[in-house]
Amino acid sequence: MLARIGVPTIDALFETIPEDRRFKGRLPIEPALDEASLMRHLTELAAKNVGSEMLSFLGGGAYAHHIPPAVDQLLLRSEFYTAYTPYQPELSQGTLQAIFEFQTLVCELFGMEVANASMYDGASAAAEAALMAGRITRRTRVVASAGLHPHVLETIRGYVMGLGDGGVLELVPVDETGRTRADALAAAVDGTTAAVILGYPNFFGVVEDLRAAKAVCAEKGALLVSVTLEPYALSLVEAPGKLGVDVAVGEGQALAVPPQFGGPGVGLFACKNEHLRQMPGRLCGETVDQEGKRGFVLTLSTREQHIRRERATSNICTNHGLIALAMTIRTAMLGRRGFEEAGRRCLAAAEYLKGRLARVPGVSLPFSGPTFNEFVVRFEDETAASVVGRLEQDGILAGIDLGRFDPARAHELLVAVTELHKREDLDRLVDAIARR
């Protein structure tokens, strides 16, 4: 190989690295272990992770809901676990049908007409929606709510830089309800706006008024994009498609797998039929074979792998197919009734916790807008970071310190509950916060 590329030695490959910056000697790596010793070592390391033993109220885009063992067992079937991209339909009918069912479920969740075979995660789906709006409207300006998850905003900002004229991302603040300020949104949207992007619910757990936002967008010819990072919210709130949303995106992790330290997730992406040709990713469709039997194929794949790069709708050339399948299995197991029941339990637990916390001296709820299972708590005489550190000593992960994202919110804590929390868990959190 060295001879082929015309390099005399391995060291010559690194000659661009200054001599004083190169590592000398042997790497300080322990000797290899035999399998039994390695498994024992891994078990010892896992035992040091106390997070799984703590009572958690973390949310902010990653939620712990019940995932039945049956989901994992079905995922382990070889036709799913080792399957690759279904380019050959005659060999991939199982995978293609699973994708088709996933798309159908996403359409039902969002109340939209068409969905793709998933994206990387909710943040990349939101960013792709911004690019899609730019292609449709031939505009480069994006207006987003400051109530969107900060990581989603960072991802969108990185993507829209690729739009013509460098792209523009303008943020609109939230008001005392926790919703995007209606007057500021109306003032920000004009004839150069490609899309308005709102969380549904937003980062503060508040359910945005999508119908009002749609009226603003329609007047100026902009598209409305909703971002749902907690899919269980769609069990009770009105589907975004029924409120006029043009593109609905989100994160399906909560319906698929437990939170796993940053990934993997599964991006959900749905839109109106009229925008189908500009949808990123790929689409599985239903058809019939020569004998008239039902079958499935990749109907639309306008990715850079399949067409000229300059005409591609997206540079994302894969998707988290296994997690999409996990979401499909779990959602099918829940059914409509189970999905709504889980949602009602989440809402009831959140409302109970809000009521109890509001009665603790020095604690308040800064936002009055409607919430689902996540909300913000403000401490008058203590920072959220202090509360988080204090409750960790009691074996409780109290929530997300919003001061990490905005110093002005150093006294605010984002708390999330799910159907897994029992009433005694909620009471334990309240009692721990009340102790000073």
pLDDT in tens, 361-413: 999 999 999 999 999 999 999 999 999 999 999 999 999 999 999 999 999 99
Question: pLDDT band for position 168 (50/70/90)?
Answer: confident
With respect to residue 43, please indicate whether it lies within any of the assigned structural domains: no
With respect to residue 304, please indicate whether it lies within any of the assigned structural domains: yes
- Report how far apart the first and last C-alpha atoms of the chain are (Å, whole number): 67
Q: Comparing 304 with 106, which gets the higher pLDDT?
A: 106
With respect to residue 3, please indicate whether it lies within any of the assigned structural domains: no
Least confidently predicted of 255-264, 285-294, 403-412: 255-264
Determine the residue type at 316: I
The CATH number covering residue 131 comes to 3.40.640.10
Q: What are phi and psi of 244, to 5 degrees?
A: 95, 5
Instruction: Verify that 387 and 412 share a domain, yes or no.
Output: yes
With respect to residue 38, please indicate whether it lies within any of the assigned structural domains: no
With tokens 């829209």, the residue in question is: 160
List, in order, residues 6 or more apart from 278 with CB less than 8 Å away.
Answer: 132, 135, 136, 313
Instruction: Verify that 236 and 260 share a domain, yes or no.
Output: yes
Q: Give the chain's domain count.
A: 2
Domain boundary among 330, 348, 375: 330
> Quick one: tokens of 94?
């199982």
Question: pLDDT band for position 111 (50/70/90)?
Answer: very high
Instruction: Verify that 371 and 387 share a domain, yes or no.
Output: yes
The predicted pLDDT at position 269 comes to 97
The CATH number covering residue 429 comes to 3.90.1150.10
Domain boundary among 330, 362, 383: 330
Answer whether residue 344 shows pLDDT above 70: yes
pLDDT tens-digit map of 201-215: 999 999 999 999 999
Mean pLDDT, range 44-58, rounded to an integer: 84
Domain boundary among 330, 364, 382: 330
Mean pLDDT over each residue of the chain, to the nearest integer: 92
Answer whether residue 305 shows pLDDT above 60: no
In angstroms, rounded to a whole number, what is the distance separating the alpha carbons of residues 208 and 240? 10
With respect to residue 190, please indicate whether it lies within any of the assigned structural domains: yes
Instruction: Verify that 306 and 420 share a domain, yes or no.
Output: no
The predicted pLDDT at position 166 comes to 62
Instruction: Verify that 150 and 274 share a domain, yes or no.
Output: yes
Is residue 268 within 8 Å of residue 250, measured between CB atoms?
yes
With respect to residue 88, please indicate whether it lies within any of the assigned structural domains: yes
Instruction: Verify that 167 and 270 share a domain, yes or no.
Output: yes
Angstrom distances, CA of residue 206 to CA of 118, 192, 418: 25, 28, 16
Instruction: Verify that 231 and 354 share a domain, yes or no.
Output: no
Instruction: Verify that 325 and 351 share a domain, yes or no.
Output: no
Write out the residue range of the structural domain in which residue 349 sits. 53-67+336-434
Instruction: Verify that 322 and 365 share a domain, yes or no.
Output: no
Mean pLDDT, range 295-304, rounded to an integer: 77
Q: What is the pTM of this model?
A: 0.88
Instruction: Verify that 164 and 237 share a domain, yes or no.
Output: yes
With respect to residue 31, please indicate whether it lies within any of the assigned structural domains: no
With respect to residue 39, please indicate whether it lies within any of the assigned structural domains: no
Instruction: Verify that 204 and 286 share a domain, yes or no.
Output: yes
The predicted pLDDT at position 165 comes to 67
Query: For the residues of 40-95, what is the DSSP string, one character each?
Result: HHHHHHHHT--GGGSEE---TT-------HHHHHHHTSHHHHT------GGG-HHH
Is residue 281 within 8 Å of residue 133, measured between CB atoms?
no
The predicted pLDDT at position 88 comes to 79
Instruction: Verify that 313 and 363 share a domain, yes or no.
Output: no
